[in-house]
Structure 1
Amino acid sequence: MGFDSNSIDELIKSRRSIKKFKPDPVSVDEIVELLEVAKWAPNHKLTEPWRFLLYSGDGKEKFIQAYSQSQALKDGSIPDKAEKKSEYFRSIPLHLVVVMPEDPRQKTWDEDYGAVSALIQNFQLAAWARGIGMIWRTNDWIYNPVFRDAIGVKPGEKVIATLMIGYAEHVPEAKSRTSIMDKLKIISE
C-alpha cells in the first residue's frame, strides 16, 4: 500500500492527552477537515452513529454556561471549583461534544459505541499529526440532565466525549505501558 508504518507507529505512540493549551485559535474549517478524515472509522453497516456539537469563539460560552448550570447548588449559586473550571474552559480554543444515539438493542449499542470511539481516536491522531492536541473527557457532568438539556442532547442519546482542543502549551512525557505479553494468551493448538 505504500504507507510508512514507522511513521504511523510513531504517531500513535507520540500522541498525548493535552490539558494546557496555547490561546492560539484553531480553525473550525480544519476541525471539519479532520472530522472528514475521522469518519472513515469502521462502523458496522455504515450506520455512522455520531453527531457533533462544536463550540468556538463566543459560542464556547454556551458550553461553559451549560457546564456551570449543571454544577449550580440548590440556591442557584455556582461553587468556586466550578467557577475555576469555567475559566479554564474559556482558555481552551475549542470544545467538541460527540454524541451517539443509544440503540435499545445491545449488539447495535456496542457496535455504535465502538465505532464512535474509533472515530474519536482517528480524529485525535489526525489532529496530532497537524500539531493539534486535545483531551477526551467523560466527566460526571456529561450525565447531568441540566447540561444535556442546555446543549441539546436528546433523550435516547449518549455523550461519548467532550473534547477540549487546541495547540499544546505543554506536552506531557509518555507514561509506561504494560507489555502486551503480560496481557496476551496465545492459543496455538
Structure 2
Amino acid sequence: MSELVEKQKSELAKIIRERRAVKNNYTDKEVTEEVVLELLDDASWAPTHGMRQPWRFIFVHQDQKADFAKKVASTYPEDKQENRENFLNEPNAFLVAIMEVPDNQKQWDENFGAISCMLQNFWLLAWERKLGVVWRTNPHVYEEKVKEILDVKENEKIVGFVHLGYFEEAPKKKERIPVKEKFSVYKA
C-alpha cells in the first residue's frame, strides 16, 4: 500500500489493521475486572438482531486462574492434563464468552454473529490499551464438564475462552489475501 494511502486511513482503519492475536509473552500487569467491564460496556454497542444481546461473560481474574486452569485441565485425558494446565496458566486472565442458543437456526446464526461482532469490538478496544487478546476455541469449550464448572445453562453455548494479558511487543503482522481475490460482482 502506498504511503499516501496509508496516511489517509482513519484511526479506526489503522487499529483494525494493527490488531493482532496476542497468544503469549504477557507482562505481569494485572487485568482488572474494572477494565474488562469498561471494555465490554463499549463493545456491547455491536449489532444485535432484535436487540437480543445474546451474550454473557464470565471473568476469571488472575487470583482465580490457577484453580480454574486445574479444573478445566482435569477434563482432558490424564496424559494431557499437565500440558493443558500450563497452557491455561499462560494468560493473565480469561473472559469466557457465552451465547444464548435459540431453537431457531436463523436466530442461532444471528446470535453468533452478534457475539462475534461484540468480541471484535472488545478486541479492538483492548488493543488500544495494549491489552492482548486471543479468542480460543480449544476442545474444552465443548466439554460438558467445563460447562458444569462455569454453570453454563442448557440453552447456552461457550463461544470461546478469551485469553487476556498486557503486552509490550506486538506480534508480527501476517499478510492477508487481497480482498479483490475473494470479491466478485453479480451479473444477471
TM over 0.5: yes
Q: Deviations over 1:89-126 (max 9, x none)?
A: 22421101000111010111111000000000000000
State the SS of the aligned residue for 1:108.
Answer: helix
Of 13, 18, 30 in structure 2, the residue corresponding to residue 14 of structure 1 is: 18
- Return the alpha-carbon distance in structure 2 between the equivalents of residues 106 and 88 of structure 1: 34
The residue number in structure 2 matching 1:61 is 66
Task: Please identify, of 19-28 and 35-44, the stretch whose mean Cα deviation from structure 2 is larger.
Answer: 19-28
Higher relative contact order (CA 8 A, sep 6+): 1
Amino acid at match of 1:185: S
TM-score (norm 2): 0.89
Amino acid at match of 2:118: L
Shift of 1:62: 4.2
| Structure 2: tracts of 5 or more residues without a match | 1-7
The residue number in structure 2 matching 1:43 is 48
CA contact (8 A) 2:130 2:168 kept: no
**Percent sequence identity over matched residues?**
32
The residue number in structure 2 matching 1:103 is 102
- Return the alpha-carbon distance in structure 2 between the equivalents of residues 11 and 167 of structure 1: 17
TM-score (norm 1): 0.88
Q: Name the count of aligned residue pairs.
A: 180
Shift of 1:156: 2.1
Shift of 1:65: 2.8
- Mapped pair 1:131 → 2:130: yes
Deviating above 3 A after TM superposition, structure 1's stretches of 4 or more consecutive aligned residues are none
Shift of 1:63: 2.5
Task: Provide the alpha-carbon RMSD of the alignment.
Answer: 1.7
- Return the alpha-carbon distance in structure 2 between the equivalents of residues 31 and 175 of structure 1: 27
What is the correspondence of 1:80-119 to structure 2 with a 5 Å cutoff?
A: 81-119=80-118
